[in-house]
Structures are given as structure tokens and as C-alpha cells.
């Protein structure tokens, strides 16, 4: 099943990347500059696991980012549309790599299972 989920995310990665460059041709610099910005939320794990998980999940939640894109589209705001598409691409990239939304108990505990040093906890 994990292979199917990774393939689905790879397809979405291609879709969102294609949509970005179709809508905003010649915007490579902005795309590359923002691609890893959602991972800055890792820093909040230093403060508390819960705060880190909340921040990480906001910046990686595909439903939230899709709604943000729709809002940007409806109000004709290219900046909101660009940021939401880039974050969607990043989120799908993470899902292909096996990283999911975080639970509050541990950085390694995701909705896709355990990752990192805790990977052995997957059944």
C-alpha cells in the first residue's frame, strides 16, 4: 500500500509542478526559493513537539493548501496561488519520501507510519 501512496504523491507532484509552471512560466527563482520553506517549521520542534507538529502540519496539509490556492484564484492573487502551489509540490515531495503529517507524541510518528529511528515500530 505504501508504494501506491508514493505513486499517487508522485503523480500529484507532477500535476502541481506542471500547474505552477503553466500558470507562472519563467518563475523558477521564486519556485526554488520557496520549495523548502515549509521545512522551517521543524525549528518549532525545539520548543515543543506539539507546537512543531502543528506548524509542520499546517505547512504540509494538502487540503489546507488547496483551499488557500482556491482563495488566491478567487481573489485573483498570484502570490497566494504561487505559494500554495509550491507548498503543495513540497508536500507531495515529502510524501514520496515517506514523510507524513505529524502526531504530537514524536517527530517520527506520522500519519503514514513511523519514520527514521522509530521505523521499526511499523507493523
Within a domain: 20 = yes
Question: Domain tally for the chain?
Answer: 1
- With b for 16 or more beta-carbon neighbours within 10 A and e for fewer, the 66-98 pattern comes to eebbeebeeeeeeebbbbbbbbbbbbbbbbbeb
What value does the mean pLDDT take over residues 19-28?
97
Within a domain: 40 = no
pLDDT reported for residue 61: 97
pLDDT reported for residue 113: 84
Helix (H) or strand (E) holding 110: strand 109-110
Within a domain: 94 = yes
Within a domain: 89 = yes
**Radius of gyration over alpha carbons of the chain, in Å?**
15
Cell numbers given for 16: 502541481
Residue 117 pLDDT grade (very low, low, confident, very high; cuts 50, 70, 90): confident
* Structural domain containing residue 30: 2-35+56-121
What value does the mean pLDDT take over residues 36-61?
95
Residue 49 pLDDT grade (very low, low, confident, very high; cuts 50, 70, 90): very high
Strand partners, 102: 110
- 62, pLDDT greater than 90: yes
Residue 121 pLDDT grade (very low, low, confident, very high; cuts 50, 70, 90): confident
Cell numbers given for 114: 513511523
Within a domain: 109 = yes
Percentage of residues in the chain with pLDDT exceeding 70?
98
Cell numbers given for 11: 503523480
109 SS3 class: strand
| pTM of the model as a whole | 0.91
pLDDT reported for residue 65: 98
What value does the mean pLDDT take over residues 59-77?
98
Amino acid at each position: 500500500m505504501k508504494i501506491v501512496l508514493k505513486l499517487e504523491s508522485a503523480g500529484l507532484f507532477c500535476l502541481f509542478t506542471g500547474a505552477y509552471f503553466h500558470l507562472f512560466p519563467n518563475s523558477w527563482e521564486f519556485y526554488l526559493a520557496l520549495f523548502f520553506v515549509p521545512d522551517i517549521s521543524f525549528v518549532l520542534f525545539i520548543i515543543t513537539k506539539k507546537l512543531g507538529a502543528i506548524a509542520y502540519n499546517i505547512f504540509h496539509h494538502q487540503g489546507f493548501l488547496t483551499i488557500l490556492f482556491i482563495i488566491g484564484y478567487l481573489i485573483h492573487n498570484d502570490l497566494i496561488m504561487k505559494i500554495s502551489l509550491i507548498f503543495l509540490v513540497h508536500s507531495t515531495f515529502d510524501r514520496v519520501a515517506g514523510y507524513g503529517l505529524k502526531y504530537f507524541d514524536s517527530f517520527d510518528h506520522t500519519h503514514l507510519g513511523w519514520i527514521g529511528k522509530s521505523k521499526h515500530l511499523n507493523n
